[in-house]
Chain A
Amino acid sequence: MRQIQGLAASRGIALGPAWRLDPPLSTCPRRNVEDPASEWERAQAALEVARRQLAELVTRARELAGEEHAAIFQAQALMLEDPALLEAARAAIEIGRLNAEAALVDAAEAQAQQLEALEDEYLRARAADVRDVAQRLLRILTGCTEPNLACGAAPVVLVATDLSPSELITLDRRKILGVCTAEGGPTSHTAILARGLGLPAVVGAGPAVLQIPDATPVVLDGSAGLLIVEPDAETLAAYRERRAMAARLAAQAGVRAHAPAITRDGQRVPVLANVGDLASAQAALEAGADGAGLVRTEFLYLGRSSLPSEEEQFSAYRALADLFGVLPVVLRTLDIGADKRLAGLDQPLEPNPALGAARHPALAGATSAAENAVAGGAAGVGRALAAGDVPAGCDDRRSARGSGHSRGLPHGAGGWRA
C-alpha cells in the first residue's frame, strides 16, 4: 500500500482499477522493419483513419461548441497532412527502416519542438496540438482505435498528466469512477467541471501517479486529495464504509430537502438555485429549491453559432417560469463578453472588457424577450424579475446609468451577478 498526496479537487470516494488515459509518447514502440514499403502503407492507413476521426470531430465540435472550437480540430487535421511531417516520417521509414509508430511520433515531436521554441505563448501551446495528433496516430497504430477508455477494463479511476475540460466532457461518464491528474490545480476548469459532474477528483498529484501500472487497484479520496495505491483490506473496508455512509447521508438530505430552511432563532432562509437550463431547473426543484435565484440565460446562446430568436427565448423563459409556478425566478438576461465569448456574435475584442462596452445591436431582443416572458408570462408568476442586460459583464455600469432595463430590481441590485 502506498499513498500519493495531491490536491482535493472534487469530493467523493472512488474505488477501482487505475487506468492511464493515454500512454506517454515516449513509450511508443520502436523497432527496425524488414519491409519499409509495407510499413509506409501502414503509416498511410493510420493517417487516413486519423483524418476521418478528425473530420468527424470538426463536425461534432461545430455543432456542439461553435466554429472557434471546430477550428482546433481543423488545424489538427491539417497537421496530419503537413508535408514536412509526412516527408520526415517517410524518410525515417524508408531510409531509417523505422516502424510507423516511431517514425510518425518522431516527426511530430520535431514539429512540436519547432513550435515550442517560439516566444509567443499561444503558438507554443500549439505544440500540444501536434502531440495530440501524434497520440491519435499512436493509438490507431497500436490498435486502440477509440481514444482513451476502449482499451481499459471500465469503469476505472482515470489517471492522466492533465485533462482538458473538453477531454473530460467527451469521456464516457459510465466508465469513469474518478479522476487523478499529475498536474493542474483545484481551480482549473477541469476541477470545476469534475465537481459539476459529481466526479471525485484529485489533481496536482505529481508524476508518481503516471507510473502506476494499468489495472492496479486504487482508492481515490477526493475530499482529502489522496490517492492510495494497492490499498490493504483494512483501508479498502474503511473506504467502502465511508462511501456507504456518504450515500446514506445524501439520501437522508434528499428526504429533508423540501422542508423549509429555518435558523435556530426562527429566521426562514430561502434557498434559491443557480440554474442553467430547464434540466438543471428541474433538478433544483426536485432537490427542494425555493426558486431560481439566478437563471443563466447564456444556455440559449452557447454551443451554437447563431443567435436565438426572440420567440425562442420567450418560450424558453416561459417554460422556466411555468416550471417554478409561484416560486420566484430571477432571469439574468445575458452575461457574455470578457471571458465568455459567443460564437454567434462578432464581438470586438476589448483590452479591458470588465469596464463595460457598448451594447451589441444584435442582442437587443434579449432583454425584451426576458421581460415579456416574466411580465406577461405565466399567470402564476408573482415575483419573476429580469436582471441583467450586460453584454460585456458589468453591473456597475447599469446602476451608474440608472437603466430602465433592470425593471423591478432595487437600485444597485448588481449582487445578482454570479
Chain B
Amino acid sequence: MPSTTVIVRHERGLDARHAARLVQAVKGRAARVTLSCGCRQADATSITALLALGCTQGTPLTLHAEGEEAEEALAAVVALIASDFRSDP
C-alpha cells in the first residue's frame, strides 16, 4: 500500500478550495486515499472530513492509498499539494 508524507505549504492550509481540488483529483479513480494529520484521518473524497483535519500551513500530511489505481491517485494528490494547489488535478 503506497504511502508518503507531504507538507502543506500554502498559507491558507487545506481550505475549502484546496480540499475541493483534492476531492476532484481522487474522485473517479479506482483508489481509496486516506489523509492523516496528527491524530485525525480523512477519506480524500469527503470534503468535510478533509476540512475537519484542520490542516494549516506547515502541517505534515501523511497519505495512504489503496486500490487498483492507488499509485496514480497518490501521485495526483502529492502533485497537487507539492505545487501549492496550482497544478491541474
Contact = CB atoms under 8 A, between A and B. Distances in A.
Contacts of B46: 82-84
Interface in B43-68: 43, 45-49, 51-52, 54, 56
Nearest to B17: A71
Contact of B48 (A74, A84, A120): A84
Contacts of A129: 16
Contact of B45 (A83, A115, A118): A83
A119 B54 contact: yes
Interface string A68-111: 10011011001101111100000000000000000000000001
Contact of B52 (A74, A115, A122, A349): A115
B52 A78 contact: no
A84 B49 contact: yes
A123 B15 CA distance: 7
Given A83-B46, A122-B15, A349-B11, A78 B51 contact: no
A165 B57 CA distance: 29
Interface in B1-56: 11-13, 15-17, 19-20, 23-24, 43, 45-49, 51-52, 54, 56
B70 to A, nearest CB: 18
Q: How large is the interface on B (under 10, 10 to 19, 20 to 34, 35 or more residues)?
A: 20 to 34
Q: Is the interface of A mostly helix, strand, loop or mixed?
A: helix
A82 B11 contact: no
Nearest to B47: A78
A126 B54 CA distance: 11
A115 B19 CA distance: 14
Contact of B20 (A71, A84, A119, A130): A71
A121 to B, nearest CB: 11
Given A78-B19, A82-B48, A129-B16, 17 more contacts: A68-B17, A71-B16, A71-B17, A72-B16, A74-B20, A78-B23, A78-B47, A82-B49, A83-B45, A84-B43, A84-B46, A111-B48, A120-B54, A122-B15, A123-B54, A126-B51, A130-B48
25 contacts: A68-B17, A71-B17, A75-B19, A78-B19, A78-B23, A78-B24, A78-B47, A79-B47, A81-B45, A82-B45, A83-B46, A84-B43, A84-B48, A114-B52, A115-B48, A115-B51, A118-B52, A118-B54, A119-B54, A120-B13, A120-B54, A122-B12, A123-B52, A123-B54, A129-B16
